[in-house]
Structure 1
Amino acid sequence: MRLDPRRAAYAYLSWVVQGPCAPLNELVAKVGVEEAARAVRECELPAPLRKRTEARRSLDPTTAHMDLLDRIGARLVTPDDDEWPHWRMLGFGGMDVRRDPDGAAPLALWVRGNGGPLAKFTEQAVAVVGTRSPSEYGGYQAADMAAGLVAEGWTIVSGGAFGIDSTAHRAALAVEGRTIAVLACGIDNDYPRAHGRLLREIARTGLVVSEYPPGVEPKRYQFLARNRLIAGLSDAVVVVEAGLRSGARNTAKWSRRLGRPVLAIPGPADSATSAGCHQMIREGEARLVTRASDVVDEAGPLRLDLGVDPGPQRLTDALRRDELMVYEALPSFGSRSPRELSEASGIRVADLDAILGRLEGSGFIAADESGWYRAC
């Protein structure tokens, strides 16, 4: 099989630098990717670029990598391709790469999955991230948030890790939504190992993405660089349970630097797993959110007041106040008993029957043996 020379050049350079490299991006922009690849192979390079390329410049596993992509149903997406998320990458243009070299845009992205074009998948996307050891409360909030965002038409982006990441991915899959897992290793590497099945399920209907070529094993510093891509491919980052020092807060930092909203779900006042969320909210680094509609208000397109009443914009806009309180008390994913609904909505159990009857009659909710749930 004869390789397209430009794609082969991107693959080779991606292998050589393995991660963000601003000097290489500058060289490609100046002379083109094929000439940049030739220079890396054959020429004396400036010190910053020589340092990043010296160890692997004489090695070129491009043919093996491309053969592997064919076997696993994957592809290399470059800035030449229609599915390259050009709009998403604009944010990296304003990064000060001298202060933080990891702030460079990815040279290319290795993509595995049948969900569709990467650019299309990220047109409307929100990252849901958090601790790898969530409480029951945190797991519930992550699943409810992800399912709620999917219902609003958003793609869920996360890192495929234990805890909040995997909960968000699974919730999106459970409601047949779109989800993207961004890895800190090659897309042929199921990491963590226990999530091999989950990553295959994501690839079946969504996308698994990495800037690291096949065969690359995960390393600690790669996770920090990976976090900028989670933020970069998203309209906003939602943090669900994070300690004072955590990878989720690192993702939130990248989101702020890229000019994207950072949103945080509060937890119990004395919860160590929510201490990072509380600190970000307190210090103005994140906006408090509690439901998917809050996130859509922050991450969605601007709504201009044109002085005209457009009428109801959502189905729920037509509900009465008590009906809306009950409807909003129902999770986006799962069900609740009347007593749980009473506690969540603040409406007495004795008054719920009539409200539930009206909502059921209007098609907003339904019930089964587990309780009441949203029908739309």
Structure 2
Amino acid sequence: MVKHDGSQQDPVLLSGRDVTTEIGTSRRPPEAEEELRRSWAGLLRAYEPPDAALAGYVERVGARAAWTAIRDRRAPRSVLLPTAARTEQFIAAELEALIDTDLAAAEAVGARLIGAGDPEWPEAAFVSFLMAASNAVKNAAPPVALYVRGRRLTNLPADALSIVGSRANTAYGQRVAADIAMGAADAGLTVISGAAFGIDTVAHRGAMAYDRESPTIAVLACGIDRAYPVANAALIDRIAQVGSVISEYPPGFSPARHRFLVRNRLIAALSAGTVVVEAGRRSGTLSTAGAADGLGRVLMAVPGPVTSALSVGCHLLLASGKALLVTSAEDVLATLGERERVEAFNRHVGLEPLMLPTEPPRPTERHPTDGLEPGIAKVYDALPARAARTVTQLSVESAIPSGDVIAALTVLELHDLVRRQNGAWRRKRQSDQ
């Protein structure tokens, strides 16, 4: 390919979209398709999202060239730093073997891998990250690829609505969330949420009450081959049958607190608007609201009883002027400017009148790492609940260099959160003295 200055461009530097254009057809050759797919898998294995430097590098040179440069340790320093913990201890052949393992695990659960240049890639949904980054919005980096189970991703973000809220929902929140989800699905919108307990579960189930194509999408904070929470495994499998389940983490990756916060930016990006139904003052749901606001999406919140701790976050969003007040599916459709959908919204969704909670909400639990630096919290989250891990294992899991992991463990030990055990580290147990 001849560049504007007359020189030749190395084909490996072509992005997925460039390859399609270069060969002049709607599909890449099978060998190019496989190479690109392996590159996406390698990139997802190499770093912990989001990372603006890596995402920008992939955008500039293409996934294949980016992965080759990272694998061979010749990428720019800004890209090598966030990928060092998961790549520098392996030779190229070992990294390629890890890709084989990831792709086989994804295939075993019926998942596929998509990225920029794939016809299914929701490019329109992720353009907002570029605009947010130019406005210095924190963590405004798009995914470089996604594992997907189920139906194709189409018409995102235009025809989608995100519904999020507290895991410890009340009867009031459950009824409102169900009302909005069912009404949105009835109007032809795809409902997006995170498959967690509480409002997420209600939103997914409400959307699936309607027999239509792709009624709901679940975004996971773990590998595509895992179900979290485990009790929602059947729900997640059902979503994959009628809708889609997506993840930007390699198969086998475990859920961690910071990954839920990272996942939330995708929930916001993939839809035209986000509705918050019940959120405590310190709820992680508010990170989804912050992402929606930073990405320029329509942000809505449902007011609740002034006596409910689970509505404080919604009230703060409304008081700040960042969120618009909604109380029903019709409100949501009107707020999104869906006039035609509002006019078509002419049948009752079959819910009983809204009720106040019959029991007081459960208090928000404090996390052990509250107040600590994010990197230190990531190391703590990388420790399993009942097993020990070496520094090297923690470095790979958290994507933090070994030296920084050791420093983090020292801080965690000072805070009485971890213990050494036979050359490894584990979380403190109640039985420890």
**In which range does the TM-score fall when normalised by the shorter chain?**
0.7 to 0.9
Equivalent position amino acid for 1:27 in 2: Y
1:215 aligns with 2:264: no
- 156, 164, 169: which is aligned to 1:129? 164
1:154 aligns with 2:189: yes
Dislocated runs of 4+, deviation >6 Å: none
**Residue in 2 that maps onto 1:51:** 81
**Residue in 1 that maps onto 2:279:** 242
Equivalent position amino acid for 1:70 in 2: E
CA distance in 2, matches of 1:84, 1:292: 28
- 151, 154, 159: which is aligned to 1:119? 154
Q: In 2 relative to 1, CA 301–174 (structure 1 residues): closer, same or farther, beyond 3 Å?
A: closer
Equivalent position amino acid for 1:131 in 2: S
Report sequence identity in percent: 41
**For the aligned residues, what is the CA RMSD?**
2.4
Which digits, 9 at most, give the CA deviation of each residue in 1:133-166, with x for residues without a partner?
0111111111111001111111110001010001
For the residue of structure 1 that corresponds to 2:49, the secondary structure is coil
1:27 aligns with 2:44: no
1:83 aligns with 2:120: yes
CA distance in 2, matches of 1:97, 1:15: 27
Aligned ranges 1:354-369 → 2 under 5 Å: none
TM-score (norm 2): 0.68
- 202, 213, 220: which is aligned to 1:183? 220
**Residue in 2 that maps onto 1:346:** none
TM-score (norm 1): 0.78
CA distance in 2, matches of 1:292, 1:86: 27
**Residue in 1 that maps onto 2:351:** 334
Point out the more displaced range, 169-178 or 235-244.
169-178
CA distance in 1, matches of 2:312, 2:51: 34
Confirm or deny: 8 A CA contact 1:143 1:333 kept in the other structure.
no
Point out the more displaced range, 231-240 or 177-186.
177-186
- Residue segments in structure 2 that go unaligned for 5+ positions in a row: 1-29, 355-433
Point out the more displaced range, 210-219 or 36-45.
36-45
- Deviation, structure 1 residue 333: 3.8
Which digits, 9 at most, give the CA deviation of each residue in 1:198-252, with x for residues without a partner?
1001111011111111111111111111100000001100000111111111101
Confirm or deny: 8 A CA contact 1:97 1:104 kept in the other structure.
no
- Deviation, structure 1 residue 100: 5.4
- Deviation, structure 1 residue 119: 2.5
Equivalent position amino acid for 1:246 in 2: S
1:12 aligns with 2:49: no
**Residue in 2 that maps onto 1:272:** 309
- Residue segments in structure 1 that go unaligned for 5+ positions in a row: 304-311, 317-326, 341-376
Confirm or deny: 8 A CA contact 1:267 1:274 kept in the other structure.
yes
- Deviation, structure 1 residue 68: 2.2
**Residue in 1 that maps onto 2:198:** 163
Which digits, 9 at most, give the CA deviation of each residue in 1:279-300, with x for residues without a partner?
1112212110011111112224
For the residue of structure 1 that corresponds to 2:85, the secondary structure is coil
Task: Count the aligned residue pairs.
Answer: 315
- Deviation, structure 1 residue 271: 1.3
Point out the more displaced range, 229-238 or 285-294.
285-294
CA distance in 2, matches of 1:257, 1:100: 6
- 193, 198, 208: which is aligned to 1:173? 208
